[in-house]
């Protein structure tokens, strides 16, 4: 059996597309016990936000910019 370190090294050498698929499968395997109604609301919200980005009705900003804005609000 491979050690966690060996497995991690092997996984990190995979192309990014495969690592993303593996990450998705790992998250799914955690089996969060979320209420299905709450989960449905979050899926709807995520799709709404995705659509806003795609149709250009909102402007995307980088994570760094978003964090800077939040820090500015906290420090005010």
If you write DSSP's letter for every residue of the chain in order, what string do you get?
---HHHHHHHHHTS-HHHHHHHHHHHHHHT-----HHHHHHHHHHHHHHHHHHHHTSS----HHHHHHHHHHHHH-
Quote the pLDDT of residue 32.
67
pLDDT tens, residue by residue, 19-43: 999 998 888 888 766 688 888 898 9
pTM for this predicted structure = 0.45
* Predicted confidence band of residue 12 (pLDDT cuts 50, 70, 90): very high
41-74 per-position pLDDT tens digit: 989 999 999 999 999 999 889 999 999 999 999 9
């Amino acid at each position: 059996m491979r050690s966690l370190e060996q497995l991690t090294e092997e996984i990190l050498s995979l192309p990014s597309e495969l690592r993303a698929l593996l990450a998705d499968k790992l998250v799914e395997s955690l089996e969060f016990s979320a209420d299905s109604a709450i989960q449905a609301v979050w899926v709807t919200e995520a799709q709404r936000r995705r659509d806003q980005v795609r149709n250009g009705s909102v402007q995307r900003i980088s994570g760094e910019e978003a964090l800077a804005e939040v820090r500015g609000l906290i420090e005010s």
